[in-house]
Each structure stands twice: as C-alpha cells, then as structure tokens.
Chain A
Amino acid sequence: MSTVKTKARGSHLFLPLSVLAILIVINLIKGADYFSMTIINGALYGNVPNILFGASELVILAIGMTLVTASSRGQDISVGVAAAITSAVFVQVLQGAGDITWWTIAASFLASCAAGMLIGAFNGSLVAVFKVQPMVATLILFTAGRSIAFMIDGKLSPVLANDLTSQLGGVIPGVPIQTPIILTVVFIALFAALLKTTNLRLYAESVGINEKAARLNGIDPTRIKFLTYMILGVCSAVAGFIAVTKAGRHDSVNLLKFVEMDAILAVAIGGNALSGGKFSVTGSIIGAYTIEVLSRTLLRLEIGTETIKAFKAVFIIILMVVASPVVREYASKALRRVRAGADDCAVAEADTAASGPDAPAKMEV
C-alpha cells in the first residue's frame, strides 16, 4: 500500500508541472531567448520576472482560495470584488492621511486588511453559521461589491501619484527585483510558516473531508470555516494592495476583473479537488503561475487579444479531460494491459478501481 500512497501524493503536482513544462517548451521553440533577462535602471526585466510580476495577485488569491476550498467545499467568487473594496479603503485612508510616508502606507494597509477581514467575516458567517453554499453566499458581494467600491472612492478612479507607492508597485532603488515579486515571496513564506506552526492544515482538511466526524473529534467546523474566510479576506486585501500600487490608480470597475475565475482555475489546475478535503498550496501556486504563463504564451504566439479567451478555454478543457477520473481510469487500464506481467501494479490499481462499488456496501452497514 505504501507505494500506492507515494504515487498519489506525487501525482497532484505532476499535472501542473507537466503543463508548465509543455508551455515552456513551446516558448523555447518560438524563441530560444525565452529565459534571457536584461537589467534596466538597476532592475531585472525579461520573460520570467514579468511572469512572476504579473501573477503576484493571482498567486496570493489562489493560496487563500485553496484554504477556503479545502474547508468549506466551495469557492469564493467575490475575491476580485473584495480586493477592489479593500484597495478602495487603502487609497481613501492614504489620501486622508495627508503626507505619504512609509508609516501612513503601513497604517492604510492595515486598514485595508481590516476591511478584508470584515468582508471575510461577512462571507464566513453566511457559509459557516447559516450553512449557505459558498458560491451563493459570495454571489451577494459579487453583485454589490464593485458598486460599494465605487461609493467608497466617491469619484471615478482616484490617482496614487507619489514616489513611495510607485516604488511598491514597481522597483525600489537599489533592489534588483520588482517589489511585487518580493511581496509575493514574503507572503508565501509567511503562509508556509502559518501552516507549519499551527494545526490549520489538519483542521481545515478534516472539516472539508467530514464535518460531522471533525466535530466529534473536538474541532469546531463553524470556527474553522469562519477562520479560513477571514484568511481569504486578508489575502484579497494584500492582492488589492499590490494591484492598486501596480496600477497607480484605483479603478473600481476594472481592478482585478475576472480574477476570481482564474483563482479557482489555479486551485483546480494545482490538483486540488474543488469538493474540499486535502489540499496542496504548492500546487495552487504552480497553477497560478501556469495560468500566467499560458496567457503570456498565447500573446507571444501572436494570437489576437480577442481570440486569447477561446484558446484559453480549449486549453482548460483539454487539461481537465486529461485529468478527469474517467480518462485516468481508462489510461490506467490501458497501461495495465500493456504490462500485463507486472502483477503488483495490477493489484494496486484493482484496489483503487474497486473503491467505487464498495461505497454502496458501506452505506448499507
């Protein structure tokens, strides 16, 4: 059984990594200078830094989304809207503070984090206390959120015109890497530390796998779900902060538009089940970068911007078909027929195949 287990653990990263590899090969065929980087004004630029730069918000949102998916068996579709609201709060507090220093930026960022936690608490209370399906619960903010962001702004797209915020969204003098990349890395490190030092992963997974069993074991599912939504709220605040400093102005209508779909997609590509349970944050991060690489590859192949969405869709469909359980079973059956001699392998796969018919039998007991 141990061989089967290690196989299953490795397989969730196999899909996103192989897709990433295929995309990189396509890019290398298109032009061998894909990995080349140049230094302009003391900072690194090139394809790889651009991908890391462009995907930073998506990565952060995908991390939070993974946690929410694992614990509540559903997805939050209001993350982009939440980021729009929190960044509106950020801009308003910053502009209300008068002169802009690192301290006022930090204070405004904390205010936006508080707004994010408030949004998370709103969604979390609906999901955890009222037992509403996550997608339905977050549909409320999805409907109303951009209008709320606009009302916080008070006018069309307030501008952040100063050196400090443009350094946060671009490059700090003397540091060779663009700041959003550094912020993303810091965020990932903090999140990894959170997962390593606390029981959050265990609790979230057990609530997602079986809520009743988790409660019988002394875990409060309501509190865990609520907590994951709060964390996602903070994630969207960070993503909104990065997005607004990148853009230099707050556009409540277009800021991080449709990012919620990409974030859910990143979670799925990363090999996580959208129906909750065990999760892999690494997979989601790779999935997020894969989506960014895909978009940029399509641009590089000189496909018109209007057609990109269609290509992306075809790509997603192919990816999901390859990863679907039915196709995998067919593939494994075919594999088994090819190497009919290898007995142990066949037994292992027969085990996994038999788990389906087993389920009804368990129900009778």
Chain B
Amino acid sequence: MRALTILAVLVFAASSDGAVAETGDAERGAKVFRQCVSCHQVGEAAKNRVGPHLNGVFGRLAGSVAGFRYSDHMKRASADGLVWTFETLDAFLENPKSLVSATRMSFRGLKKAQDRADILAYLRRYSDKPSDIPESEPTLHLGGPDLDPAVLALQGDPDYGEYLSSECTTCHQADGSSQGIPSITSWPAENFVVAMHAYKQQLRPHPVMQMLAGRLSDEEIAALAAYFGGLD
C-alpha cells in the first residue's frame, strides 16, 4: 500500500484520442523513441539497463526477458498472461499504470496516438516473428482502454461504493493488507478507474477481474474508486 502512494505523484495521462485508426511511421518512431533510450535499448547488442531490452517485444509474454529484475506487479501481470501485442503495448505506452499498477516504469505516457503508433512501428523492426513485420500486419491503432473523458470525470458516490465494495472485500482486504492479492485502498481515483476499465475491456488479463469489472457500470466503477480511495 505504501508503494501505491507513490503513484499519486505520477502525472497521469487520460486517453482522449478516440478510436481513430493510426498508421505508424517507423522513421518518425525512431525519433520519438529517443525519450526511451535512457532506460531501454533495442537493436543489435541491446542489453537490459534500467528497463529490459526491447528486441522481440511483440508477441512476448510480459516480464519474461531473462536476467531482468521485474517489479512484483509486472511479475503478476506476466503470470496472469499479459502478452505484448499492438493493443497492449499501445495501452501501456499511453499510461503504463493502466496495465501494470505499480510498474517501475515511471513514464508519464505518450498522449498522442500517432506518437505511440510510430514508436510501435519502429519497435516492430526488432521483433522477429514474421507476423510482426510492419508490412504483414498494419500497425493499426485499435484503442484502449478507450475512455471517454466524461467517464474519467465522473464523481463517484462513496456510499454506493461502500455497498459495492462488499463484492471486492471477499478477496481484497479493506484494511489495505495484501497477501497474494493486491491492496486496492488509497489509490488515486483516476488510476483505479483506468485499471478497472482496462479489465473491463480485457486489456488487463486476469479472469476474475475481467469478469467482475465486466459487469460494473461507469458509475459503479467511479463509486468504488471514491470509496476505496478514501480508505487507508
């Protein structure tokens, strides 16, 4: 739970580009990628540095580069079966916390869909599966978690959230302790909302959470975020 308070200070980028299809430009992507190189290497002789190397990232199980020490949250996403596809990488680049809550990748995210599409087109050059080369599969932006700004702006009712929370507290402890199941108290509301929508849209891979989030309305997610955000 303490680690999560760190999240609060990280600037958060909301998705607002809509679901417009974007085609990536790898040459431009190489330039956009410059903001990543202090942590990530890609290409011949790329090594793990602050972040893992990015060769072959497409189609790879998250958190699976040999020799790299991942955060517990990235390990969890990996065990849940998060695979890096265009869609999941796009969501991760837009806001890393939306997919992996306490990832060590302290990057505020790329707001522009075109920037993400360009970087991904560039990274595809270093992914060796034939289906990953740009010509065989257009680097289309399919969006996600695709959130209307109005959804993010919803003010949740914490009393309603308290009622709904009883479904969560069968597994997640209300006092914030975590043993095998993550703490969900004291999260900034935006992180909570985006994470829940990422489950609802099946970008985050956990089956229990996909199922439970899948039947929550926008208002219910906002109410839960308001309630759990107020617990410490």
A interacts with B: no
B residues whose Cβ falls under 8 Å from a Cβ of A: none
A residues whose Cβ falls under 8 Å from a Cβ of B: none
